[in-house]
Amino acid sequence: MEQPDLDTSVLDARLAAAKEASYRLARATTAEKDAALERIASDLRARASEVIAANGLDLQAGRAAEIGRGLLDRLALDEPRIDALADAVLDVIGLTDPVGETLTGRTLPSGVRIDQVRVPLGVVGAIYEARPNVTIDIAVLALKSGNAVVLRGGSAAEQTNRVLVDVLRGALDAVGLPAEAVQTVDDFGRAGARHLMQARGYVDVLIPRGSAGLIRAVVDEARVPVIETGAGVVHMFLDASAPEHWAIELVHNAKVQRPSVCNALETLLVHQEAAERLLPSVLDRLTDAGVTIHADERVRAIRPDALPVTDEDFATEHMSLDLSVAVVDSLDDALEHIRRFSTKHTESIVTNDLANAERFLNEVDSAAVMVNASTRFTDGAEFGFGAEVGISTQKLHARGPMGLPELTSTKWIVRGAGHVRA
Amino acid sequence: MEQPDLDTSVLDARLAAAKEASYRLARATTAEKDAALERIASDLRARASEVIAANGLDLQAGRAAEIGRGLLDRLALDEPRIDALADAVLDVIGLTDPVGETLTGRTLPSGVRIDQVRVPLGVVGAIYEARPNVTIDIAVLALKSGNAVVLRGGSAAEQTNRVLVDVLRGALDAVGLPAEAVQTVDDFGRAGARHLMQARGYVDVLIPRGSAGLIRAVVDEARVPVIETGAGVVHMFLDASAPEHWAIELVHNAKVQRPSVCNALETLLVHQEAAERLLPSVLDRLTDAGVTIHADERVRAIRPDALPVTDEDFATEHMSLDLSVAVVDSLDDALEHIRRFSTKHTESIVTNDLANAERFLNEVDSAAVMVNASTRFTDGAEFGFGAEVGISTQKLHARGPMGLPELTSTKWIVRGAGHVRA
């Protein structure tokens, strides 16, 4: 699988250095880690012009490669964005350090004492695409929770990331923590990414952040544990009893407030008994906001100018002002549709029927299930986590918005006085 | 990868049936699930002769294939063993149902209420080797925690497992739960196992139980989330200050009490300052119990009749009365040895030095880290979990002995009253 001329010994040396540094980070005090974060924030500001110059090279290459306006916008860093990034680093200082927390403990009948305590995962790998702010975000969250990181940003951000990694390593070194706790494999391109995905024994968890395609590729190729983040084909169901003003506001907020993110609405399902009552005003509010409606036949009977919707639309996370809309016969049909097309991120029911609300909450198998609330609430900051590593759509280890505790594992501390097992 | 004549549609139908059944299981009340377990226990006893007859066929085939005495013993079921198995099923009834437990909850500043509640994982896959009791064990634990299971036992136990799966499915059906919640892929041999490992979207977690080779193969081939259980290259370190009577009893208990299990001692490290004081009595007690000592040069200076030890010994889980023994210069050297050879299962220090005890507890990166206790304590029953799914040696989701809560995920329940995000 490796390219013939790839010198894996360099990559292995970096991974081994990250592992070694992770042992030191695991023992670092909260004060030491916070000092590093403070230094990262101040160095980011101090070296802003250097970051912006490197970013300029990436932007230039991106424009030449015609990567598109959306990507260019995510890639771009200027003084205000760097300032905001530094502020976000300082915010992490205020978060509770999860390491060392005792989750449970008891004295066994034999007198042996056991305690389950939080420990860092060790080495966190991150694979993401052309968003240099992720470089700082993920490294800072990993460091605060006592982990080393190995980063693979998109090649489109390579020059920017090079400077940012240098800032991170310099700050660690300045406060007496090992610079080796931050590593990059960007200079090895895709071969570096593949090596990272297969680095069993070195990488304790790998977090892909980005498109569905990226995440799928990582899941397919990885031999290390992965936390899948992401894709949100998010549904809202307007039940027969849905109050009209809630329906209008909730659908509008879920779809329009920030359409490019994973908790934004992609599909609206409407109970047949409510379709004529609700759809005109709900859809008017959306089209006024510039939303393109992709609708099934029953919706188009009410709104003939809507585009026809396909199964492909139902399965797509548009991340744009496009919305699929369908009428369903019943709550059961809504649940069935959701089961078929949902990516298990967030779904919401709008209803005034208690039994239906409870059924929806119980039976929808998603990270966040809501009643009468906008799907935009599925978010680490909204949930009060202070920062967000990503939103897990898998069921193992972490589900939904991930904060610092999700970057830890546990270990059992067992204390005896010569106790043997009978 | 699939054999050309493999009819994957049958396998896919079973996986889909398990998934469908998992939705029903997820909503089953504790009373319904306990009724199923009670029926499983009574049907096991009622059909004991049928189980034993099928087991006889497996044993006959095993003897013909010369699979070895140890494997034959693990494979064999007789009336007392079936009785014990049924009793173990009844024990699970007494365990707390983890489903529905609220882990945390708060009201957000906006007034939106969020609660994190335990939900079943969904479909649990299990791949294991020729131990028919695992068929019952894992299915019962999965069912109690609201999950469906897809089982792949070793082909050496195929006849026995066929009857046991029939018992499980019959019991579910008898109490009004879907028989489809228990599926087997045994009749598809290795191709069935491979299909199970790659069943993304159907299997929420795959648990391999068995040899290091089996676990490695699953990790390599799986495209679904895996929890690694197992292999234990377990260390005990006798520090300079280790009290002699503790050293003798702890080493003996850890090595001899049950040498064939994963928490049994494999390597004994002794501080150089304690070697002459402790090794004669510690090793005498072991050789009296029939233990074969594989020792480094410094140990052999004290015990010339010991076999020489190799790095391969240090890396091997013998699961027999063999013990690797080495003298180290310091606690640092002991930590270094453990870092190199440990499978991160369990390690223990015997010491009277508080600072060294704390360093060992903090710096050893294993699922269970002990001071002055036998490594045999790393066990679900000893920890008070009542039953054990396995012992996780990975850091994600579960670490150390896994009980029922480790077979669950969580979801966020969000309740608003028309709340939109500002």
Q: Per residue in A323-371, pLDDT tens? A: 999 999 999 999 999 999 999 999 999 999 999 999 999 999 999 999 9
**Residue B148 in domain:** yes
DSSP, collapsed to helix, strand or coil, labels residue A75 as helix
CB contact under 8 A, A420 and B121: no
In a domain, B304, yes or no: yes
The CATH number covering residue B327 comes to 3.40.309.10
B194 domain-assigned: yes
Interface test with B, best of A409, A410, A413 (most B CBs within 10 A): A409
Residues A203 and A335 in one domain: no
| A157: closest CA of chain B, how far (Å) | 29
A410 contacts A118 by C-beta, under 8 angstroms: yes
Is the pLDDT assigned to residue A3 strictly greater than 60? no
Residue A306 belongs to some domain of the structure: yes
- Chain B from 138 to 157: CB within 8 A of any A CB: none
Q: Does residue B203 surpass a pLDDT of 50?
A: yes
Among the residue ranges A300-304, A350-354, A388-392, B267-271, the one predicted with the least confidence is A388-392
CA distance A368 to B112: 13
A81: in domain: yes
pLDDT at B95: 94
Judge if A361 and A338 occupy the same domain.
yes
Lowest mean pLDDT among B156-160, B259-263, B376-380: B259-263
The verdict on A196 and A159 lying in the same domain is yes
Cβ of A220 within 8 Å of Cβ of B223? The answer is: yes
Average confidence (pLDDT) over A179-192: 93
Residues of A in contact with B112 (CB under 8 A): 373, 377
Question: Quick one: A344 and A277 in the same domain?
Answer: yes
Average pLDDT (A49-66) is: 96
Residue A149 lies in a domain: yes
Residue B110, burial from CB neighbour count under 10 angstroms (0-12, 13-18, 19+): middle
Classify the C-alpha dihedral B91-B94-B98-B104 as positive or negative: negative
The pLDDT value recorded for residue A386 is: 77
Residues near B247 by beta carbon (within 8 Å), at least 6 away in sequence: B238, B274, B278, B281, B282, B350
A355 touches B: beta carbon within 8 Å: no
The pLDDT value recorded for residue B5 is 59
Residues B314 and B247 in one domain: yes
Cβ atoms of A187 and A14 closer than 8 Å: no
Same domain, residue pair B94 and B206: yes
Residue with tokens 């006085």, as numbered in its chain: A417
pLDDT in tens, B26-82: 999 999 999 999 999 999 999 999 999 999 999 999 999 998 888 898 899 999 999
Q: CATH number, domain at B182?
A: 3.40.605.10
Same domain, B140 and B202: yes
For A420, which of B108, B249, B366 is closest by C-beta distance? B249
Q: Which residues of A touch B27 (CB under 8 A)?
A: 362-363
b/e per residue, A117-144, with b = 16+ CB within 10 A?
A: bbbbbbbbbbbbbbbbbbbbbbbbbbbb
Residues B108, B202, single domain; the answer is yes
The pLDDT of residue B1: 41
Residue A312 lies in a domain: yes
Q: Clarify whether residues B274 and B165 are in a common domain.
A: no
* Min Cα–Cα distance to chain B from A55, Å: 32
Chain A CB contacts of B124 below 8 Å: none
| Helix or strand (DSSP H, E) at B34 | helix B30-46
Question: Would you state the pLDDT for residue B155?
Answer: 87
Interchain proximity A362–B27, CB inside 8 Å: yes
Structural domain count of chain A? 2
For the residues B205-224, what does the mean pLDDT come to?
Answer: 87
Structural domain of B310: 234-377
Which residues lie below 8 Å from residue A272, measured CB to CB, with a gap of 6+?
A298, A327, A328, A329, A330
- At A1 the pLDDT is 41
Instruction: Supply the DSSP symbol for B127.
Output: E
3-state DSSP percent of chain B in helix, strand and coil, to 5: 50, 20, 30
Strand partners, B17: none
Whether A377 and B418 lie within 8 Å, measured CB to CB:
no
pLDDT value at residue B2: 43
Residue A88 shares a structural domain with residue A175: yes
The answer to whether residue A386 sits within a structural domain is no
Q: Check whether residue B65 and residue B204 sit in a common domain.
A: yes
A80: how many CB neighbours lie within 10 A of its CB?
Answer: 8
Best of B365, B376, B378, B399 to mutate (most A CBs within 10 Å, chain A): B365
- Complex ipTM value: 0.92
Return the minimum-mean-pLDDT range out of A4-13, B250-259, B377-386.
A4-13
As a whole number, the mean pLDDT across chain B is: 94
Closest listed residue to residue B270, CA positions, set B348, B330, B210: B330
Q: Which residue type, as a one-letter code, is found at position B264?
A: A
Lowest mean pLDDT among A127-141, A159-173, B13-27, B282-296: A127-141
Q: Are residues B77 and B95 in the same domain?
A: yes
Beta strands in B321-384 (DSSP E): 322-328, 346-350, 368-373
Mean pLDDT taken over chain A? 94
Determine the average pLDDT of the residues in A191-205. 92
pLDDT at residue A215 in the model: 85
A419 CB within 8 Å of a chain B CB: yes
